[in-house]
Amino acid sequence: MNLKKELLRITSKFFDETSNYSSALKEYKQLLFRISNEAINNEEHRNNVQLENGVAIGTLWAANCLDDLKRTLKFIKGIDIAIQEKIHQKDSLHILYAGTGPFASLILPFVLKYADFNITYSFLEINPLSFEILKSTIKKLDLENHNINFINQDATKYQFPKNFSPDIIISETMQRALDSEQQVSVFYNLMRQSNSDTAFIPEKITLAIGTSSYKNDEPSIQQKYYREHHKVFEVSKKALNSGEWLFEKKSNKLGFTEKRTILRKKELSTASEIVVMTEITIYKSEKLFVNDSGLTAPKYIKDISNNKKERLIIESQYVVGSEPKLELKII
């Protein structure tokens, strides 16, 4: 079988509005796993890598991100909008993909779709096992002559070489509520070295204090049960340049302002739980709202169904370090 032709056949469906997207995404995953010879199922491929700024997930888990269908489809659509915008402004493009996993699955469709354009790709991945599979996948797909650079480094520390100037940076190194993984530090390190017109995908991520009004034991995924009360943290170019992101030169550390949220009687009367809600603008119109994806699943914080207090005060602050998270204190 000609793997490159097969990849083109499957990934073309992502850009055809008449397609059954979920079956195309399943075929895509099957093809990539077949190319890796299932080596990816070994025990060692399940190991996460603990780094100074959080965790880099194991090869198998990174490959399985493809199962989050809505996430994958919306990222692919968002990336396409960004490429189309930029490609009409410039003769050549440079796309940096930080945290490719073993398959660079969010960008492979474009390597073929835009094969006639002058696009350079830089694939940055820290997990050595994922990195090896990535290189062999590109080789087996016969994509080696498509201007792809491979960089096996930590994206939270990577320093751009001279004349390295990406037009688009893609990184999906996150979990819901921006827990554990390194999205914030990756964004910070790469964007502060970029130009003002560099697009970052996802364009904006927000964390909000919310409540759920669902009263059963089983958690519900229905959006109607969740209410957002106060946005307390944002990852975006605008936020980076606001006074809310603070870089302390002395300690070489990134910090963020503390937020205070007050939930009053009216809001508490129907609430059963306090949750952290994540919302993602991938690019322009492509967005993920509560429970659209594993990345936007609400994070349970506290049962307040028996609350007797007139009001609750929630102090929150995002922290980076080996265990990045939104730290919360309920008073």
**Contacts to ligand SAM by CB under 6 A:** 51, 56-57, 62, 65-66, 98-101, 105-106, 124-127, 130, 154-156, 172-173, 182, 186
Query: Residue 124 or 280: which CB sits closer to ligand SAM?
Result: 124
**Cβ(193)–Cβ(94) under 8 Å?**
no
Nearer to ligand SAM, 97 or 214 (CB): 97
**Cβ closest to ligand SAM, residue 97 vs residue 233:** 97
The partner residues of 313 in beta bridges, in order of sequence, read 262
- Establish whether the linkage from the previous residue to 202 is cis, with ω within 30° of 0: yes
As measured in angstroms, the least distance from the Cβ of 255 to ligand SAM is: 19
- Smallest distance from the beta carbon of 126 to ligand SAM, in angstroms? 4
Residue at shortest CB range from ligand SAM: 99
Q: Please give the single-letter amino acid code of residue 56.
A: A
> Which is closer to ligand SAM, CB of 62 or CB of 207?
62
Query: Is the distance from CB of 208 to CB of 276 less than 8 angstroms?
Result: yes
Min dist CB 177 to ligand SAM, Å, is 14
Q: Which is nearer to ligand SAM, 68 or 273 (CB)?
A: 68
Give 102 or 298: the residue with its C-beta nearer to ligand SAM. 102
CB nearer ligand SAM, residue 125 or residue 234 = 125
Structure tokens of 57?
């997930």
For residue 321, is it left (φ>0), alpha (ψ between -120 and 50) or beta?
left
Provide, rounded to whole angstroms, the least separation between the CB of residue 181 and ligand SAM. 6
Asked if 125 contacts 156 with a C-beta cutoff of 8 angstroms, the reply is no
From the CB of 38, what's the least distance to ligand SAM, in Å? 18
Contact 293, 177 (CB under 8 A): no
User: Is the Cβ of residue 7 or residue 155 nearer to ligand SAM in the bound state?
Assistant: 155
Would you say 151 or 330 has its CB closer to ligand SAM? 151
> Minimum Å distance from CB 124 to ligand SAM?
5
The answer to whether 47 and 40 have CB atoms below 8 angstroms apart is: no
